[in-house]
Amino acid sequence: MTSSDERLSGLEVYLVGGAVRDRLLGRPVTERDWVVVGATPESMLDRGFRPVGRDFPVFLHPDSHEEYALARTERKTGPGYHGFTVHAAPQVTLEQDLQRRDLTVNAMAQTPDGQLVDPMGGREDLLQRTLRHVSEAFAEDPVRILRLARFTARYAPLGFRPANETMRLCCQMVSSGEVDNLVPERVWQEWSRALMESCPQAFLQVLKDCGALHRLAPALANLLETDAGERALGALTEACHRQMPLAVRFAVLTADLCREQEPTTAGNALQALCQRYRVPQPCAELAQRLGRWHDTFERAPEAGAEPMLSLLEAVDGFRQGERFDTFLLAAQCRSAAAGDEGVRRGERAAGLLQRARDAAAPVTGAPFAAEGLSGPAIGQAVRKERLRRIEDVVADHRNQAGAVPGKH
């Protein structure tokens, strides 16, 4: 018997949650969570487990580092995500622990030898491709609306959808004001995870259908009802297809909000959204730059050197190459939402801007300082030389575009 087996010897342990769900779906299991029935915190510590739970007893296995939580129940004591009292005791049964979970597909367990424990009917809902709440206690935690939407985003390609009665319950949670108790950090945590799923549009649709999107992000909800919103969703689809990082996905979805004034702030609706949910700076900055400069990006082949230089300066193209590259990725996804012609337009613009940046980036102030210039004059000289080099790139591009095929 291995040391890992010895630590678990005598414990009533069950694999629970996502690992069971994904195993039954034939999907890769990336992490495993366990529930321990009949144990105490002291007995877990005696076996060498390390406590990590702040609000309830959760322990890390000292060898595998997987989480082992004591079976527990919850009781609603106040509004919002933190308004719960947790009860963990040896008398709590596995079924009682599973009963407190959000969706039936997440409320299944397996014994170490693979026997399924499914008191809530999760396996049948997997077969029916249905995301259904376990009990009316679902309505006590507004985070569960976000989780329902996120799981829909993950499993929509497999045909999953929320159950009608679960959506009705979500609507009641919104109308009762429970969703207003969500803390900003948790909203962004679920939102960012959903954006990285295979179909984040489904996340937004669930929130829209139950009214939560209008409460959490009213400007975005209004945008998605317009033609610009349709283009934003198309750009998000393209970003997912191209497996873009989080910053690109957030930017293509929200960039048009920078054109909308937010009456409650001094800035625009995008700034208000990012401030409200404490969106990480790389995501917020890329969205702002994309909203402000995408039109110039698309016009680059016809715009001339001055607008291209202004764009390169605005997106920090000379100092932060990685930021510039990410901007080009986002801009191309946004252009591609217009179809094949948009794809070609985006590729042409990105290629031209890349050549312009490569031509102008080597220009520094050192030679001008050596000539005796100082202060603002150096910056002006650098910009003038960069502009000249970009003009050469533009002229070369136009010559090539106007050349007769087969002649040089």
211-257 pLDDT tens trace: 999 999 999 999 999 999 999 999 999 999 999 999 999 999 999 99
- Supply the CATH number for residue 93's domain: 3.30.460.10
Q: Which domain holds residue 69?
A: 1-128
Residue 12 forms part of a structural domain: yes
Q: Is residue 56 part of a domain?
A: yes
Would you place residue 403 in the very low, low, confident or very high pLDDT band (cuts 50, 70, 90)?
low
Q: Which residue has the tokens 């976000």?
A: 146
Residue 246's pLDDT is what?
98
Nearest 10 degrees: CA dihedral of 206, 207, 210, 215?
-170
Q: How many residues does the chain have?
A: 408
Report yes or no on 33 lying in a domain.
yes
pTM of the model: 0.90
Number of domains in the chain: 1
Write out the two tokens for 363: 């220009």
SS3 51: strand
Q: What is the pLDDT of residue 82?
A: 52
How many whole angstroms separate alpha carbon 40 and alpha carbon 51? 12
Question: Distance between the two ends of the chain, CA-based, in angstroms?
Answer: 77
- Burial (CB count <10 Å: 0-12, 13-18, 19+), residue 142: buried
Distances (CA, A) of 229 to 269, 274, 297, 346: 14, 18, 20, 19
Please indicate, yes or no, if residue 73 is contained in any of the structural domains.
yes
pLDDT of 1 over the 70 cut: no
Asked if the model's pLDDT at residue 164 lies above 90, the reply is yes
Cα–Cα distance for residue pair 284/306, rounded to 1 Å: 26
pLDDT at 404: 42
Task: Compute how many other C-beta atoms are within 10 angstroms of the C-beta atom of residue 233.
Answer: 19
Q: Which residue has the tokens 């693979």?
A: 114
Is residue 71 domain-resident?
yes
Is 261 part of any domain? no
**What is the token pair recorded at 117?**
């424990």
DSSP SS3 for 377 = helix
Per DSSP, the residues of 325-352 read HHHHHHHHHHHHTT-HHHHHHHHHHHHH
Q: Of 162, 184, 181, 224, give the one whose Cα is nearest residue 79.
A: 181
Please report which confidence band the pLDDT of residue 303 belongs to, taking 50, 70 and 90 as the band edges.
Answer: confident
- Structural contact between residues 274 and 285, judged by C-beta atoms closer than 8 angstroms: no
Distance between CA 128 and CA 126 in Å, rounded?
Answer: 5
pLDDT at 262 over 70: no
Average pLDDT value for residue range 9-29: 94
Q: Which whole number is the average pLDDT over 280-300? A: 96
Residues in CB range of 382: below 8 A, 6 or more apart? 363, 364, 365, 368
Residue with tokens 């995408």: 294
- Kindly tell me the burial class for residue 39, based on how many C-beta atoms sit within 10 Å of its own C-beta (0-12, 13-18, 19 or more): buried
Q: Is residue 386 included in any domain, yes or no?
A: no
